[in-house]
Structure 1
Amino acid sequence: MIKSLRLQDGRLYPATQQPAQVLWCSKPDVGDHDWLRLHFRLDEHAVASALDPDEVSRIEFHPDSLFLIWKRPQSYSGQDNFSFDVSSFGLLLRDDCLLLICNDDQPLSGLGRREMMNGPMDVLLDLLFNNIHHYLGHLKVIKMVARELQQKFNSSLENRHLLQMFNLSESLVYYINALHSNGAVLTRLRNHAEKKHYSSDCLGLIDDMIIENNQCYKQAEIYSTVFAGLMDARGNLVNNSTNNLLRKLTLINVVFLPLNLVAGIGGMSEYSMMTAPLPWWWSYTALIVAMLGMGAAMVWGLRRMARAS
């Protein structure tokens, strides 16, 4: 589906007639592919790259246009089991229009952070600037989710929370790769803008985006390192808790197995035959007292062995 948008008074509005400054192609079908090839000379490889979520960010310069692939964070929902994903979309910039190719309606959400957009280049920069702030917002959410998981983990020590922390750590790895490749695109775009003698405001905005993208990259890198260390520590904590539980169960077995043996012997008819001259309450009282004394002696011995080790 192809939508047309026009620039008026620094803002984007739906356009019903051609030409339009911004063309938005979401979920292109076979007819849209033919239209893109006819009007923009985009081959199947370029369109497939724009729609491939695993495509690496890159920028290509042509005599009358530039084409770039940009990595963006996908909208997060609580049903994703704390998984933050990234995807790709393509942009083709000409002097008279900007073409967006994507798989959903997300890229233009929140567009219009700048006060005035006078041309397709302004729309492109505003779109990239908005995506960088989207990354920053997701990193804040990741930090809040990590704190919540830490509290749950400290109270329950369930493997489910450890798996959720693993999902967060994996998402940060994807964010780091996306931000690194986006930074390379911004650097090349800055060099191209300088060669083409773009305005100082445009160059300044690209410089600001490079700085904020680098800060976002460093922040994601720090979070990833911290989460990796915390996951190792929490994994060791779970193993230590399991070892302590098994140790306690082993001590219980060591104490009660001999007592079960003595109780089994005392419950047989031979014991009654051996203690026939004594009243039954004396013999069985002596058996119970002997079992309690044996259990206390084994507990005392095991405690001394634990302190000695």
Structure 2
Amino acid sequence: MIKSFQLAHGALQQVGRLDAEVMLFCNPDAAERDLLLDDFKLDEHALASALDPDEVSRIEFHPDNLFLIWKRPENYCGQASFTFEVSSCGLLFCQERLLVISTDAAQLSGVGARQPLHSPLDVLLDLLFNNIHHYLGHLKVIKLVARELQQKFNASMENQHLVQMFNLSESLIYYINAIHSNGAVLTRLRNHAEKQHFSADAIALIDDLIIENNQCYKQAEIYSTVFAGLIDARGNLMNNSTNGLLRKLTLINVVFLPLNLIASIGGMSEFSMMTSGIPWWLAYPAFLVAMGLTGGLVILALKRMAPQTSSLSQAG
């Protein structure tokens, strides 16, 4: 799908022609890919990189244009797994045109709301600014979701909530990698802007983008560190709760074992039949003494086996 826009009155206005100043290629089909390769001189590798969600951010400088691979956060729809994803988009920029290659049809939504747009460079910088603030918005959501999961975990101690916290921690790692690689792109873009004598306003805006991106990176890094500590603490807390439950079950077994033993001895009808010629006050004490001797022999055997087992383990 192709969307074309022209700059008029400081904003983007959608038009129906293929020579507009700003064009969005969303999931381009075979004909649209041929258009990018033939008319806009985009190579196959760059086009594949723009649509690859695992591609690393980078910037390529050419004599008449520059090409950026930019990592952007995907829209969060509140799944039960609490997973935040990142993907890539391609930006082909020259003085008179900007091409956006993405899998998201709403990639240009919100562009121009912060400041008037008078050139494709303004659109490019405002698009990058919106993506950085998209990261910041998701970090706020992650913080709120983490607090909610913490409350649920304290109430129920279910594994599901711990898995959701693991998913959030994994999402933060992806965010940190994406934001860090975007920062490298912004630094190289800043150097290119000085060499190409961009306007002072454009260079100042790039400096603001670098500062915003660094703050976003630090915030994501802090959240990731806090999450790692929280997950370890929650895991230990769950283990302690499990150990406490096992301790209670062991106490219950210890209480009922003597009762079961007494009931078993008292209900031995076969033993009473075999010792019918012996008074019960002699047969049952003899049986208890035999049980005690058997238990003592087992204890002695285990004590003798313990040093041999320890020596074998040390030798191994």
Name the TM tier (shorter chain): 0.7 to 0.9
What is the alpha-carbon distance in structure 2 between the residues aligned to residue 115 and residue 109 of structure 1? Answer: 14
Q: How does 1:281-292 map to 2 (within 5 A)?
A: none
Q: Which residue of 1 aligns with 2:168?
A: 168
Structure 1 position 63 matched with structure 2 position 94: no
Alignment check: 8 A CA contact 1:73 1:87 kept? yes
Counterpart residue type for residue 175 of structure 1: Y
Q: Which residue of 1 aligns with 2:217?
A: 217
Structure 1, unaligned runs of 5 or more: 278-309
SS of corresponding position for 1:192: helix
Structure 1 position 16 matched with structure 2 position 16: yes
Superposition TM-score, scaled by structure 2 size: 0.84
Alignment check: 8 A CA contact 1:68 1:92 kept? yes
Q: Which residue of 1 aligns with 2:147?
A: 147
- Segment of structure 1 superposing worse, 38-47 or 228-237: 38-47
Alignment check: 8 A CA contact 1:83 1:171 kept? yes
In the TM superposition, residue 266 of structure 1 has moved relative to its aligned partner by 2.5
Residues 6-59 of structure 1 show CA distances to partners (whole Å, capped at 9, x for unaligned) of 110010011123431101111111111111111111121110000000000000
Counterpart residue type for residue 99 of structure 1: L
Q: Which residue of 2 aligns with 1:47?
A: 47
SS of corresponding position for 1:79: coil
Q: How does 1:239-254 map to 2 (within 5 A)?
A: 239-254=239-254
Distance 1:24 1:80, change over 3 A: farther
SS of corresponding position for 1:42: coil
What is the alpha-carbon distance in structure 1 between the residues aligned to residue 279 and residue 57 of structure 2? Answer: 89
Question: C-alpha root-mean-square deviation of aligned residues, in Å?
Answer: 1.8
Q: How does 1:1-309 map to 2 (within 5 A)?
A: 1-79=1-79, 81-269=81-269, 270=272
Counterpart residue type for residue 123 of structure 1: V
Counterpart residue type for residue 123 of structure 2: V
Superposition TM-score, scaled by structure 1 size: 0.86
SS of corresponding position for 2:88: strand
What is the alpha-carbon distance in structure 2 between the residues aligned to residue 237 and residue 38 of structure 1? Answer: 61
In the TM superposition, residue 80 of structure 1 has moved relative to its aligned partner by 5.1
In the TM superposition, residue 77 of structure 1 has moved relative to its aligned partner by 1.0
Counterpart residue type for residue 228 of structure 1: A
What is the alpha-carbon distance in structure 2 between the residues aligned to residue 28 and residue 70 of structure 1? Answer: 18
SS of corresponding position for 2:198: coil
